[in-house]
Amino acid sequence: MTVEEMQIVLNDMGKKAKRAATALAILPDEAKQLCLFKMAEAIEKNAAAIQNANEKDLNLASENGLSPAMIDRLTLNDSRISGMADGMRTVAKQLDPVGKVLSKTVRPNGLEITKISVPFGVIGIIYEARPNVTADAAGICIKAGNAVILRGGKEAFNSNMAIAGVLNQAAITCGLPDGVVQIIPWQGHEAVKLMLKMDNYIDLVIPRGGERLIRAVVADATMPVLKHYKGVCHLYLDEGFDYDLALKIIVNAKCQRPGVCNALETLLVDRFAAGEFLPRFAAVMKEQNVELHGDETVCKYCPEALPATEDDYYAEYLSLTLAVRVVDGVDEAISHINTYGSRHSDGILSFNDANVNAFTAMVDSSTVYVNASTRFTDGGEFGMGAEIGISTDKLHARGPMGADELTTYKYIVRGNGQIR
Chain contacts with a copy of itself (rule: CB under 8 A): 22, 25-26, 105, 107, 111, 113, 120-121, 203-204, 224, 226, 242, 245, 248-249, 252-253, 256, 338, 347, 360-362, 364-373, 375-376, 381-383, 393-396, 398-399, 408-420
Tell me the closest approach of the beta carbon of residue 410 to a copy of itself, in angstroms.
6
CB of 362 to a copy of itself, least distance (A): 6
The smaller minimum CB distance to a copy of itself, of residues 324 and 368, is found at: 368
> What is the smallest separation between the CB atom of 293 and a copy of itself, expressed in angstroms?
23
DSSP calls for 65-108: T--HHHHHHH---HHHHHHHHHHHHHHHHSPP-TT-EEEEEE-T
- As measured in angstroms, the least distance from the Cβ of 225 to a copy of itself is 9
User: From start to end of 142-299, where are the E strands?
Assistant: 147-151, 181-183, 204-208, 233-237, 264-270, 291-294
Angle between helix axes 78-93 and 47-63 (nearest 10 degrees) is 120
Nearest approach in angstroms of CB 75 to a copy of itself is 25
Which residue, 213 or 218, is less far from a copy of itself as judged by CB?
A: 218
Closer residue to a copy of itself, CB minimum distance, 9 or 116: 116
Q: Which is nearer to a copy of itself, 236 or 369 (CB)?
A: 369
121 versus 165: smaller Cβ distance to a copy of itself = 121
Minimal distance, residue 200 CB to a copy of itself, in Å: 11
Instruction: Report residue 346 CA to chain centroid gap.
Output: 17
> Which of 189/414 has CB closer to a copy of itself?
414
Q: What distance in Å separates the CA atoms of residue 261 and residue 318, rounded to the nearest whole number?
A: 7
Nearer to a copy of itself, 332 or 393 (CB): 393
| 49 or 245: CB nearest a copy of itself | 245
> Cα-flanking dihedrals φ and ψ of residue 389, to 5°?
155, -175
φ, ψ (nearest 5 deg) of residue 188: -70, 165
Residue 409 beta carbon to a copy of itself: minimum distance, rounded to whole angstroms: 6
| Choice between 1 and 26, CB closer to a copy of itself | 26
DSSP reduced 3-state for 173: helix
* Beta strands 233-237 and 291-294, pairing class: unpaired
Task: For the chain, state the CA radius of gyration.
Answer: 24
* Cα–Cα distance for residue pair 390/378, rounded to 1 Å: 7
Least separation in angstroms between CB 322 and a copy of itself: 16
Provide the Cα torsion 347, 351, 357, 362; round to 10°. Answer: -30
Neighbours of 21 (CB within 10 A): 24
**Closest distance to a copy of itself from the beta carbon of 60 (Å):** 35
Burial of 314 (0-12, 13-18, 19+ CB in 10 A): middle
Nearest-10 Cα torsion for 239, 240, 244, 248? -50
Distance CA 105, CA 331 (A): 42
